[in-house]
Structure 1
Amino acid sequence: MPRPLPRPRLRSAAAVFTTMSAVAATSFITAPSIAEPFAASPCALTRTEAHHSEGLDTWNAGYPRPTRALDAVMVFLSFPDAAPRTTPAQLTADHFPATTDFFARASYGRFTLRAHPGKHWIRMPRPSTAYAMQRDWNASHRAAYLRDALAAADAEVDFSRYDVVYFVADPDAPGVDSDATKVVNLDTPLRADGTDIRRVVTVFEQHPPDRLVLAHETGHVFDLPDLYHRPEDGRGDWDTHVGDWDLMGSQFGLAPDLFAWHKWKLGWLEDRQVVCVPGSGPARLTLESLGAGPDAPAAGAAGAPAFGTGRGAKLAVVRTGPDSALAFEARGAVGNDSSTCRQGVLVYRVRATAPSGTGPVQVVDAHPGTEACWRHSVYPPLADAPVELGESFTVPDDQVRVEVQGRTASGAWTLKITPARTEPV
């Protein structure tokens, strides 16, 4: 595993601003909620009306479900007040194949995102400064931008062919603000080529862009919430909820693979890969490392080849209430987590009633008195959150105990979970 390296105790203002701007992905208006039956497991929380609810007993059919190949169009927009200094091919390479590769690894090959980039710039009718782009974008300016972009592109793009739409702005135009990169959900959809467009990813990233930013934004297209904490005054740490441990918290994380809970929600884990721990007696189980799959590179503690099949158990769940649960998953240096700071069993709380951006997932720190990788981690106090090999940990408040007992020859983790309660929720 990586050794902690020294770093300044306080980030520079520029570094903090970069983190804040890069993970900005709030929504405009929530699309209608249409339920489709999904997980039948007894530990699947019920989806609520919370925006991007972490409940997963049903799938919100207002969002495309990434259990098949999906097609994404990239429309490149220039403005009358600037001559582009980059090409569409250069901006495409900023995001692809990296975004497709991330999702291929995260889904164990179950999902493919196919990019269809435009070949040239499409001119917007107004200067870039006319749209007043910024993080908390004025609704009227944002609507004008979307209308103009759709009208300008419609003659060249058949939007009925695509599941995902990226409007990519000339990064060097004077009015373009990278802080405005986000997903816009529309209550009244845009209409083009006989199809409704309910959400658009507006991309204003500089060249080169922030790492995995498009994967983060695309996660919102699949109904995943923001997991970062946004300080009210815009100052302070944004990564206190989950630290490095999920792309939807920070695309800069050392271990940005999606939580097993999210993979279950998206349909990449089957119910049989989720262990529902009963309220009575201890449960002994084996979990594959989250990133381990049939094509994952071998890695692991003490030479253990955390490879696996991608089809073994990945998640254990203890229900803690009607709308809450504790989740347990093994995180190792494999797949999207190859740069992880620490390895072990990660514990986190899930709340189905908490909307995006309000802490619907919160990592529980098994080592609250220490931190790690403080030169590279987005939030060092949680960088060493996992329960490591040979350790035991009792989750505060819930009094659920986990013991990490060993590794198998294939690199999977063996553990025992003992709930405190003796009756079902």
Structure 2
Amino acid sequence: MKTVVSGYTYTCNKSGKKLVWSKGVKVIVAKPSPTPSPTPSPTPSPTPTPTPTPSPSPTIETTLLSALANPSSCKVARPADQSEMSLGFPSVSHRLKGPIIRALIMPVDFPDLVADSNPISDYTAMTKGISDWYTKISNGTVKFEWVIYPSYIRMPRNVVDYKIGARTGTGWWDYNRASIETGDPFIDFSKYDLVITGAPPKVQTDQISTSPAFGSPVGGGVKVDGVEIINATMTAEDTLRIQQGKPGWKGIAHEIGHLMGLVDLYDVASSMRPSGKPPTDEEQFAFMGGYGFMAHVHGDAPEMTAWERWVLNFLDDYQIRCVGSSNIDSTHHITPVEFTDKNPRAVVIPISDTQRLVVESRRSVGYDVALKAGFEGALVYVIDVSKPTGYGPMKIISKKGAKNPLLYDSTLHAGESVTFENYKVTSLASDKNGDTIKVEKLGEYTPKPTPTPTPTVAPTPTPTKTPAPTWVDPLEGTPCLVENSSIPNQIFELKCLKYSTLHVGSNNDNLLWFQNNPPPGWVPTPTPTPTPTPTPTPTPTPTPTPTPTPTPTPTPTLTPLPAEIDGCSTVGLRVVSTDSIKECRYIHGLRMQWVKLSVSEPVVTKTVSALDVSNCQLKGRDFGSAFSGFQVDTSKRFVPPVGINRALIVPVDFPDFIGDADLTGMLAYQKKSYLDWVSYFSKGKLSVQLDSMNHWLRAPQQAAYYSRRADDFRGVDGNKKLAAIAQEYLDFITNEVDLSKYQTIYILYPTKQNVIETDLVPRVTQFKTKEGTVIMSVFARSLYTYNENTPQWAMWIHETGHDWGLIGHAPGNGFPLGLMQNNDGASQSLSAWDWFLLGWMPPTQIYCDSLATLKNASVILSPLEREDSQTKMIAIVLDSHRLLIIESHGVGKWWDRRDNHDYNIGTSGFYGLTAYIVETMIESPSMQTDGLGIVLSDDDGNNDVYKRFTKFEKIDGVASNLYRLTSASQVGRGQVISNAYIAVLGDSFTIAGVKFTFIGTGDFDTVRIEKVGS
């Protein structure tokens, strides 16, 4: 039972044998929304992030989902003569479909075009590019399983004989058949859905000019191995781009689009001119410009259009807002097509039996990152299935004044509009999370006959309809759990219903929240309440001090709605609206709650430190290999943490693992990531001269020769044995570079090198070079790090961190919450202590107090992984050599988002506080490992048997989350499941007489500090 009193909703819940009233939830009263009108763009600022349009008002009315037409009525039937490619529904059944596409690259060469390279190296980057593209574009519904045949198969004729050296060549289909038949003795084609014939990278355009798709009808393919190959293509332009050091996958991704049933969106007729008269951009891309990879593969906005995604089932029906004939005048908010959430992606207006007007949102993110900020906005286009592939089946409707030859400036900004026939589309508002647009039908629009007025009698006024509410519940259209459950809101209530319940004929049975309008006579007035009456004005949760400016810190209440009626059931799920993001997170008691996040850069006022930060700089010891506290001279270290480091990246490949073709790109990524990390965390106190060799150096032996298990390096001579392996590398490296200039050598392995188990980490060791004996550290990744898909730069920084003097591997050795605890983990940040100890963390980012003088306070922390200047550490001095630290973790720039983490943390939804006590006067021994370099089963990072300078502290009570922060490879080997060391909203730590309560979360985490006990 629910009731409303003094603006608060109360729910009667059962507690044991008693019925008790819940804490009140305030009912927000809707404010009327002014009629939107075009607003001048703000004066451009000198900052590099332009804001060309004003942010949309959160009170702009959008038409309720339940008032729109069934999306099936906005689909357009595929014409009977478009049996292989079409923009109509349904998609072609015999074209490529997910969830798994088994793809083969069959490399071939010719008597007059002999390959001199390794096809694995030639085509690995291509397969990764295609896989990444379709995984992202399909929202994970399509994945590729690749096989690259390991050697080039010789074709029986010269390449010139196949007549495929010009776009007007005639031999394409014969070449496709001949290549498959030539490969048949070597390859079982029954294992593959897609066959790509690959040419050597040195091919020239006069030999193979283009790469068409061979999408055959059933019965028209190449029959081999008991199957029919009807989906095939070949390389040409892509291979040439690899040769030029450019991304060599986009052209094949385009052809695969055809093999999924998509049509060409560029002007095919103009592109087929004789080679002496190439078309201009305006001619070749007149239909869609640079929007969509089926139009301009190498354009600035190649992401697939919303309509194409819908045809291929990459978008669900409920992500399409269909404008029916009974409700044409309507308002909609759409999320950019580049995003991957489940929010609406397009507005579709039926025009005729073959035409649909489509509105989608474009932003400079994802694969559209090259799109200039001034070109972001609402893109309007018309699809016409009566027009065949390449002859304008999709065309952009440009706004007045658009002049860009590739139509980039056709998008609508706030206040701008376009008209197609008698339909008008206007942009009301726009921000980085999408566009709010209005659809109108112009001219006389009379859905009902209007009676002829009687001139002698005044007409009786028609009763006015109840005006539509100006407020839209942000949960409307988002997933829910329990059918027919409801949540009261300021209109009336949201109701959890199947999509098909409101859209009869749809087979979509997903449960979503829909606005339920009030019954006749309903008014939001308080109803009588049972005795005892609940307190009308609940006591609010204390606001953290000081109050954040210019806007309050997002601090959710500690009394959420129960998860089963709140719709928050999947940690990490996000709901994006024009003015906020709601993220589903764990809270105290193993419950889940929506937490509000800002859509723009949040601002908060820091809590002033209780003591000068110098009071928390506890004295430590210098152990030579590392130091444990302050008042130690680190400038004399061989690799100091302050000043200048000199390092060299050396790419090394092997006879059986040839180096990647895109070495330039590999080096650029590793160097930029490394230097960006150093710049941010050291705040300019350290600079690194990070040089690199620009070609692969071939090792004289195969990769396995350099592989050793970790137990080979145990004992007092372990470093000496490692140095012997490193010396074998240096023996051929020294022939090409003066090694005496560097303190550290980083070995870069080929991407696919998966043999060498050696964790190569000999540090500050004497090596022989042509310049004489030189002291250096040499680092290269192990097989374990390869299997974890860890960026090589992260491993290099971890090992160099030890050279800087960090003990590392604590707190929580192996836990993925810090680069020095686990370079294979999720967090790429230093722990707060390590950051502080190196002298890099500014005093303004530290809250320092002592047990002796402790003051009750509320401190706002920013996650260590977020790149900002907010408070990062709470430090409480317990005595002369013990410092109690609280730090926050969460998703940010320095949170690794790679797909195959060994941890079920994810890329959103994770947050939490950790606590640990640092002892500055003890030295930790080396971590205990088994033969594979994996932590021993009983050394879980917090085992008291193994002495460490710090360990994570457990929360009060039991864990409130199901995060697994332990490597899957170590579960069952004794390592603990470490969720009890992570505090979420409502949890607390009580340590050494101090209680830390997690009282607020959102953009930042708020911690209440208080002294307890005597």
Same fold (TM over 0.5): yes
Cα displacement string for residues 72-94 of structure 1 (whole angstroms, at most 9, x for unaligned residues):
10000011123214331232134
- Kindly tell me: are residues 157 and 286 of structure 1, through their superposed partners in 2, closer, same or farther at Cα, counting changes over 3 Å? same
2:370 to 339, 348, 362: 339
Separation in structure 1 between the aligned mates of residue 112 and residue 148 of structure 2, nearest angstrom: 23
1:251 to 274, 278, 297: 297
**What residue number does 1:62 align with?**
94
1:137 to 160, 169, 174: 169
**What residue number does 1:166 align with?**
196
- Partner of 2:74: helix, strand, or coil? coil
AA aligned opposite 1:353 = S
- Partner of 2:292: helix, strand, or coil? coil
- Kindly tell me: are residues 107 and 137 of structure 1, through their superposed partners in 2, closer, same or farther at Cα, counting changes over 3 Å? same
Give the deviation of 1:281 after TM superposition: 4.3
Structure 1 stretch 206-215 or stretch 153-162: which is displaced more?
206-215
Separation in structure 2 between the aligned mates of residue 414 and residue 207 of structure 1, nearest angstrom: 42
1:417 to 439, 443, 446: 439
**What residue number does 1:124 align with?**
155
Give the deviation of 1:267 after TM superposition: 0.6
2:399 to 351, 366, 370: 366
After TM superposition, the score normalised by the length of structure 1 is 0.78
Give the deviation of 1:154 after TM superposition: 1.2
Separation in structure 1 between the aligned mates of residue 446 and residue 264 of structure 2, nearest angstrom: 33
Separation in structure 2 between the aligned mates of residue 99 and residue 174 of structure 1, nearest angstrom: 23
**What residue number does 2:124 align with?**
93
**What residue number does 1:219 align with?**
257
AA aligned opposite 1:154 = D
Separation in structure 2 between the aligned mates of residue 396 and residue 148 of structure 1, nearest angstrom: 48
Give the deviation of 1:61 after TM superposition: 1.2
Give the deviation of 1:171 after TM superposition: 4.1
- Partner of 1:42: helix, strand, or coil? helix
2:279 to 235, 245, 266: 235
Cα displacement string for residues 358-403 of structure 1 (whole angstroms, at most 9, x for unaligned residues):
01000111243433xxxxxxx44x1111101x22303243432322
**What residue number does 1:387 align with?**
412
Give the deviation of 1:148 after TM superposition: 2.5
**What residue number does 1:292 align with?**
339
- Kindly tell me: are residues 244 and 387 of structure 1, through their superposed partners in 2, closer, same or farther at Cα, counting changes over 3 Å? same
After superposition, where does 1:13-32 map in structure 2 within 5 Å?
none
Cα displacement string for residues 199-236 of structure 1 (whole angstroms, at most 9, x for unaligned residues):
32021234334751111111011011111013264533
Separation in structure 2 between the aligned mates of residue 175 and residue 352 of structure 1, nearest angstrom: 34
- Kindly tell me: are residues 248 and 64 of structure 1, through their superposed partners in 2, closer, same or farther at Cα, counting changes over 3 Å? same
Separation in structure 1 between the aligned mates of residue 228 and residue 387 of structure 2, nearest angstrom: 28
Conservation of the 8 A alpha-carbon contact between 1:405 and 1:416: no
- Partner of 1:96: helix, strand, or coil? helix
Pair 1:272-2:318 in alignment: yes
- Partner of 2:221: helix, strand, or coil? strand
Separation in structure 1 between the aligned mates of residue 358 and residue 412 of structure 2, nearest angstrom: 13
- Kindly tell me: are residues 413 and 176 of structure 1, through their superposed partners in 2, closer, same or farther at Cα, counting changes over 3 Å? same
- Kindly tell me: are residues 176 and 395 of structure 1, through their superposed partners in 2, closer, same or farther at Cα, counting changes over 3 Å? same
AA aligned opposite 2:255 = E
Cα displacement string for residues 14-63 of structure 1 (whole angstroms, at most 9, x for unaligned residues):
xxxxxxxxxxxxxxxxxxxxxxxxx971000110123622112x221121
Instruction: Tell which structure's C-alpha radius of gyration is larger.
Output: 2
Give the deviation of 1:261 after TM superposition: 0.2
- Partner of 1:366: helix, strand, or coil? coil
Give the deviation of 1:423 after TM superposition: 7.4
Separation in structure 2 between the aligned mates of residue 132 and residue 93 of structure 1, nearest angstrom: 28
Structure 1 stretch 175-184 or stretch 108-117: which is displaced more?
175-184
Conservation of the 8 A alpha-carbon contact between 2:71 and 2:320: no
Pair 1:198-2:249 in alignment: no
Conservation of the 8 A alpha-carbon contact between 1:77 and 1:122: yes
AA aligned opposite 1:109 = G
AA aligned opposite 2:310 = W
Separation in structure 2 between the aligned mates of residue 217 and residue 274 of structure 1, nearest angstrom: 26
- Partner of 2:133: helix, strand, or coil? helix
Separation in structure 2 between the aligned mates of residue 263 and residue 55 of structure 1, nearest angstrom: 12
AA aligned opposite 2:435 = W
Q: Percent identity?
A: 22
AA aligned opposite 1:357 = G
Conservation of the 8 A alpha-carbon contact between 2:205 and 2:236: no
- Kindly tell me: are residues 160 and 40 of structure 1, through their superposed partners in 2, closer, same or farther at Cα, counting changes over 3 Å? farther
Pair 1:402-2:426 in alignment: yes
- Kindly tell me: are residues 369 and 220 of structure 1, through their superposed partners in 2, closer, same or farther at Cα, counting changes over 3 Å? closer
Separation in structure 1 between the aligned mates of residue 196 and residue 304 of structure 2, nearest angstrom: 21
AA aligned opposite 1:54 = L
Cα displacement string for residues 221-271 of structure 1 (whole angstroms, at most 9, x for unaligned residues):
101111101326453331111111100001111010000000001111011
Separation in structure 2 between the aligned mates of residue 175 and residue 278 of structure 1, nearest angstrom: 50
2:390 to 357, 361, 366: 357
Conservation of the 8 A alpha-carbon contact between 1:347 and 1:386: yes
Separation in structure 2 between the aligned mates of residue 192 and residue 106 of structure 1, nearest angstrom: 32
Structure 2 residue ranges without an equivalent (≥5) = 1-47, 51-69, 448-1014
Pair 1:84-2:122 in alignment: no
**What residue number does 2:145 align with?**
114
- Partner of 1:77: helix, strand, or coil? strand
**RMSD of Structure 2 on Structure 1 (CA):** 2.4
Number of equivalences? 358
Give the deviation of 1:333 after TM superposition: 1.6
**What residue number does 2:969 align with?**
none
Pair 1:261-2:307 in alignment: yes
**What residue number does 1:148 align with?**
178
- Kindly tell me: are residues 174 and 96 of structure 1, through their superposed partners in 2, closer, same or farther at Cα, counting changes over 3 Å? closer
Separation in structure 2 between the aligned mates of residue 244 and residue 423 of structure 1, nearest angstrom: 39
AA aligned opposite 1:383 = Y
Cα displacement string for residues 330-379 of structure 1 (whole angstroms, at most 9, x for unaligned residues):
111221212212111100010011111101000111243433xxxxxxx4
AA aligned opposite 1:214 = I
Separation in structure 1 between the aligned mates of residue 187 and residue 199 of structure 2, nearest angstrom: 16
AA aligned opposite 2:397 = V
Separation in structure 2 between the aligned mates of residue 43 and residue 119 of structure 1, nearest angstrom: 47
- Kindly tell me: are residues 118 and 337 of structure 1, through their superposed partners in 2, closer, same or farther at Cα, counting changes over 3 Å? same
Separation in structure 1 between the aligned mates of residue 417 and residue 381 of structure 2, nearest angstrom: 13
- Kindly tell me: are residues 53 and 129 of structure 1, through their superposed partners in 2, closer, same or farther at Cα, counting changes over 3 Å? same
- Partner of 1:365: helix, strand, or coil? coil
- Partner of 2:308: helix, strand, or coil? helix
- Partner of 1:41: helix, strand, or coil? helix
**What residue number does 2:652 align with?**
none
Separation in structure 2 between the aligned mates of residue 386 and residue 400 of structure 1, nearest angstrom: 14
